[in-house]
Amino acid sequence: MSSNANVSGDLLVILRHAPHGSSWLREGLDAALVAAAFGQSVSLLFQSNGVLALAKGQQGGPLGQKGTAATLDMLEMYDIESLYFDLEACERFGLVQHDLLLPAAGVDANSIPQLIAGHRLVLTF
């Protein structure tokens, strides 16, 4: 885990759902953007199927469901720069660091509790 994961923050949003098939991922990203707009220090953890949101080359989903790349591009504008991904989940999907849309720090399963403990509030989507 990167040393940045030890930094305390106001809010950690854990994103565990794939980009398509439900609105959970989009709702989690929206919650992060709203919190950041109100001055909260926000970190994101892409875990389980949520790591797929970071994959380059995403297309729209079925029934015209939009991809998440445009929303992810907005994170920097909202000063959401503490991004983490679950190393084991990326490995399961065959993703490596250069396959990701954004710079993020990989965390292993043993480091996730420490990351969570470093935040005052945790929301899971």
pLDDT tens digits, 87-117: 999 999 999 988 899 999 999 999 999 999 9
CB neighbourhood size of 11 (10 A): 19
Give the residue ranges of DSSP H helices in the chain: 24-37, 69-74, 87-92, 112-117
Residue 121, SS3 per DSSP: strand
Provide the residue ranges of all domains of the chain, joining segments of one domain with +: 3-124
**What is the pTM assigned to this prediction?**
0.86
Instruction: Yes or no: say if 110 and 87 are a contact pair by the CB < 8 Å rule.
Output: no
Beta bridge partners of 105: 84
Q: Which fold has domain 3-124?
A: Hypothetical Protein Ychn; Chain: A, (3.40.1260)
